Amino acid sequence: MSHNTWIHRLVTPLVRPLVGTSVSPNQITTLRLGFGLAAAAAYAEGSDIWLSIGGGFFIISMLLDRADGILARLSGKLSKFGHYFDLISDSVCNAAIFIGLGIGLRFTALGGWTVALGFLAGFAVMFILGVVMWAEGQKGLRAAELPSMAGFDAEDSTILIPIIVWLGWGLPLLYVSAAVTPLFAVYFAWLHRRMLRPAA
């Protein structure tokens, strides 16, 4: 994930007052993880009210995801542990939201297959995490980072998830996610194939 997207610029003024306080980037990451898992649990419940609440939780989680890195850079509290904690939290939240959505949609026309689709998309997200961590182990931190384009990066697209669910298009979103996310995971692995070779 890049560090100068429009969402980063939106969150930065809210984070600046925390510089010099006892609030740490890892505490914000923990809060981000909590909101992300709460969003997934709300989606898994499946009713309209919990889908709405879950969407709000997920957006808060996404903003906190930007906030932890901003605070780390502004306060000089960058650390290898914090980087990996953030990376793992991001992947867990993104995987969980697809799994939660699949569980929540189990009473639709597709039945229990939605759970399988949710797990497929979630597994693909965790596979991407594995590629990133392996590549970074070979080539160093942020070796697998994708560049931003026009002020947006690949992970910014996750903000569309709650918006699409709010519009009532959760099932089509699940179809597309279960198809596109594994394909992106394969593409991502191919893109970083040289980094995935064991060091000599």
pLDDT in tens, 21-40: 999 999 999 999 999 999 99
CATH number, domain at 74? Answer: 1.20.120.1760
Average pLDDT, the chain: 90
In-domain check, residue 76: yes
Report pLDDT for 143.
67
Report pLDDT for 6.
82
Its domain, for residue 114, covers: 6-191
> Exposed, middle or buried, 154 (CB in 10 Å: 0-12/13-18/19+)?
middle
In-domain check, residue 97: yes
In-domain check, residue 200: no
pLDDT in tens, 44-61: 999 999 999 999 999 999
pLDDT in tens, 159-190: 999 999 999 999 999 999 999 999 999 998 88
In-domain check, residue 198: no
> Exposed, middle or buried, 186 (CB in 10 Å: 0-12/13-18/19+)?
middle
Helix (H, G, I), strand (E, B) or coil at 32: helix
In-domain check, residue 157: yes
pTM of the model: 0.90
In-domain check, residue 197: no
Number of domains in the chain: 1
| Nearest-angstrom CA–CA distance, 122 and 6 | 26
- The model's confidence at residue 2, banded by pLDDT at 50, 70 and 90, is low
Q: Provide the token pair at 103.
A: 């569980």
